[in-house]
Structure 1
Amino acid sequence: MTKDGDADCLELYERHYSAHQYKDGRTRKLFVGPGEKVVLRTKAGDACFVWRNFKDDSGQQGVNCAVFRNESPHRSSDLIHQADEIADCLWPDRRHYTYVRAEAIRSTNPGFCFIAAGWRRCGMTKSGLIVLERGMPHNPLN
Structure 2
Amino acid sequence: MMAQAQRGIWHATKDGDPAGLALYLRHYSSRRRSSKTRLPLFVGPGEKLVLLSQKGDAVFAWRRMLYSQDGQSGVCCAVFRNEGRYRSSRLIREAMHLAWRRWPGERLYTYVDPARVRSVNPGCCFKRAGWKTCGKSLRGLIVLEVKSHT
Instruction: State the TM-score, normalized to the length of structure 2.
Output: 0.88
**Taking every aligned residue pair, what percent have the same amino acid on both sides?**
52
Corresponding position of 1:109: 121
- The amino acid across from 1:63 in the alignment is V
Does residue 7 of structure 2 align to residue 7 of structure 1? no
Q: Give structure 1 regions of 4+ aligned residues with deviation exceeding 6 angstroms.
A: none
Unaligned runs of 5+ in 1: none
Mapping of 1:52-71 within 5 angstroms?
Answer: 52-54=63-65, 55-71=67-83
Corresponding position of 1:134: 146
CA distance in 1, matches of 2:88, 2:53: 12
CA distance in 2, matches of 1:24, 1:43: 29
- The amino acid across from 1:71 in the alignment is E
CA distance in 2, matches of 1:80, 1:56: 22
How many residues matched?
138
Instruction: State the TM-score, normalized to the length of structure 1.
Output: 0.93
Q: Deviations 1:71-112 (Å, cap 9, x if unpaired)?
A: 010000000000000011110111000000011101111100
RMSD: 1.2
